[in-house]
Structure 1
């Protein structure tokens, strides 16, 4: 009996020691996590990226580390005007054995903005809620996935968006040549409202998804000067897997985009369009095309069309921007929207 009691007390004592040791480890690591966030923010300031917060708390004992930031602000001073990101409340959590993966939650939403300049109106995007995952690694760079809900984008006109998935990837090292991939961005937008903006797509786009990879290093400085230097160094944007679906219209495309001497987009995109009849009908309904011309175009397009994966007529075509004009195949669509850099 005494031996059993002794063994029980010994086991209990060992358990207490182990728990105490783990608690001490957790507290030490919590301090290192907090100091690590501060050191990371300080390192970014040296690169002219100001990251600040009103308060930081560490919790989650015993099986997680949860970092809560209040009134977090990111101000990128590398370019002018400087983009800004504001997050009223950001929670990031990771397991004690896996600091490479962080679960993110912004329950009060996020807001991104870029001040207007010259002819360019202010740019703003606000999401009511956001959640995602951040993966970091010294050899693999960083990858961020976010799911945004109830978004309102504004660039001269208000564009509500039901939801969006966003993927951002950063290489472990900055680009050194125009061929090196830099920032990678993939976006999947759903239920985009376009009241009075597009005569072809109507008032709503069901889905718009695309992926872009910026080739070449984008320098700091004034936005127009930085874009000019990036262009002169051979920088381009690779567009991949563009998918658009809207009221029976479906389009897919890939291509390359660059900037011309006036810092306006130029490039070629190849893809396919399904539902071209809806485009012609919308153009006629909105007075952009005569019914007789639409009939001739419909006959010509029908001869070019082939059956798509779902059996519906599909046209393989090319879209290009050249000398400020947009072309769909041989057809001239009109002037391309200009980018106001300043």
Structure 2
């Protein structure tokens, strides 16, 4: 019994020592990371860092966090932010965001509010912290541009990513689902001035795989974001009232972010969708009329005037419908 008691005491002391050493190492690591960002010209500040969770957790709580990358013009501010991990499994991290935060881009500032925004991240147990898989969820998310009282709201948001193990480290399978998305009143009034569509997009989801030029790891924040090289869209779908869009296809992306490949779009009530695109400015007026003529011909050949499969080609920096260029191809670059 004395020997058993001694073993228990020694094990407890050892585990306690491990926790305090780990907590000290984590705090030093956070401080070094913020110092390194400031040395690179970032705004990288927090008011306080509290590490708790003895003996089985490392719970890091930051208050008044501010990060701004001068290279991209992206910035983030939050009154608090938490990183939670089990002390015996520190590579599985839970990130918790506050109910209100601010995100700034070179074009606009956005205030985000949510009831519960958190992410589960499983990282490779190495100093590079390569992402293996992650799931982010948010409930009752609201996005409001600064100085604008017309928010975009989502009842439930889920974004999942998983590294494809059979391929290169930089190949990820992604999934997105937004439940009951309500677009901003300003945008809805522009594309649907007569109010013929419901307020809510009942379906918005996507399933795709992306090969990046490098893995998502700590350098994605510290240095530069990984850039897509190949995108395989298994299915993207959006439903807004009687309007429905589905898309699938595959494109390669060059170093400048210009895609090359093909995507097929299945559109139900396509004339109404085209009219919305015209009103919103997504399709220029000088393109919309000849595009409608071409799609009308396709629908007649298909024998269905309301539902249409539209094959789009991406080539030479343009989007092509058959031999006709209809728009400039989007630039697929992450800032």
- Which TM bucket (shorter chain)? 0.5 to 0.7
Change (3 A) 1:188 1:284: closer
Change (3 A) 1:334 1:19: closer
Change (3 A) 1:47 1:281: same
**Of the candidates 237, 247, 250, which is equivalent to residue 255 of structure 1?**
250
Q: Deviations over 1:269-322 (max 9, x none)?
A: 4124052xx2224557999999xx89x96684264279xxxxxx9644322467
Give ranges in structure 2 of 5+ residues lacking alignment: 215-223, 280-284
1:130 aligns with 2:117: yes
1:337 is displaced (CA, Å) by 8.5
> Distance in 1 between the 2:111 and 2:312 partners?
28
- In structure 2, the partner of 1:243 is 236
Preserved contact between residue 145 and residue 166 of structure 1 (Cα < 8 Å):
yes
**Of the candidates 97, 101, 117, which is equivalent to residue 106 of structure 1?**
97
- In structure 2, the partner of 1:118 is none
- In structure 2, the partner of 1:160 is 152
> Distance in 2 between the 1:305 and 1:180 partners?
46
1:41 aligns with 2:34: yes
- In structure 2, the partner of 1:145 is 135
Change (3 A) 1:98 1:208: same
Q: Deviations over 1:242-267 (max 9, x none)?
A: 5122135131223337689xx89665
1:61 aligns with 2:54: yes
- In structure 2, the partner of 1:176 is none
What RMSD over aligned residues (CA atoms) do the two structures have, in Å? 4.8
Preserved contact between residue 75 and residue 82 of structure 1 (Cα < 8 Å):
yes
- In structure 2, the partner of 1:222 is none
Preserved contact between residue 319 and residue 326 of structure 1 (Cα < 8 Å):
yes
- In structure 1, the partner of 2:220 is none
Preserved contact between residue 243 and residue 253 of structure 1 (Cα < 8 Å):
yes
**Of the candidates 177, 180, 195, which is equivalent to residue 188 of structure 1?**
177
1:330 is displaced (CA, Å) by 5.8
> Distance in 2 between the 1:153 and 1:257 partners?
34
Pairing 1:1-342 to 2, within 5 Å after superposition: 7=1, 11-12=4-5, 14-45=7-38, 48-77=41-70, 79=71, 82-115=73-106, 121-124=107-110, 126-128=112-114, 129-137=116-124, 138=126, 141-142=130-131, 143-149=133-139, 150-152=141-143, 154=145, 158=150, 160-162=152-154, 163-167=156-160, 187-190=176-179, 191-193=181-183, 194-198=187-191, 202=197, 204-206=200-202, 207-209=204-206, 211=208, 213=210, 215-216=212-213, 238=231, 240-246=233-239, 247-248=241-242, 249-256=244-251, 267-275=260-268, 278-281=269-272, 300-301=298-299, 303-304=301-302, 315-320=308-313, 327-329=320-322
> Distance in 2 between the 1:279 and 1:99 partners?
50
Residue aligned with 1:37, SS: helix
Preserved contact between residue 85 and residue 94 of structure 2 (Cα < 8 Å):
yes
Residue aligned with 2:201, SS: strand
Tell me which structure has the larger Cα radius of gyration: 1
